[in-house]
Amino acid sequence: MTGPHPPYVPSEIANPDAKALLAARSAVKAAKAEGAELSQNTLIGLMQVKGAIDIKRGGIDLAVARGALRESPGPRRSRMFAYVKELDEHDFD
């Protein structure tokens, strides 16, 4: 019998591409500038990066996975996000 398996991490989180990295940095910057908890739609609207909504959502998810944003449930099943810390370069090695 083998030891415990590491937790499953989607490949786009484990090895993000350049667009996802830019979107994650933009999400963190927008959340930090607001200084308050934001809904996903509000955060997407504040992100200063061009790209499809799916890329922006992926950037938010990446920032949450790296610990730069905190996610909490909001009203009517919404997702709320708050700034925690800057993304470090070593977060993407």
Q: At what angle do helices 53-65 and 18-34 cross, to 10 degrees?
A: 70
Per-10-residue mean pLDDT of the chain, 93 residues long, equals 51 68 95 95 95 93 95 94 88 55
Q: Name the CATH architecture for the domain at 17-86.
A: Orthogonal Bundle (1.10)
At residue 17, the pLDDT reads: 83
User: What predicted TM-score, i.e. pTM, was given to this entire model?
Assistant: 0.79
At residue 80, the pLDDT reads: 97
Distances (CA, A) of 28 to 5, 10, 14, 70: 31, 20, 18, 10
CA distance 78 to 73: 6
At residue 2, the pLDDT reads: 53
CA distance 61 to 40: 10
- What are the residue ranges spanned by the domains of the chain? 17-86
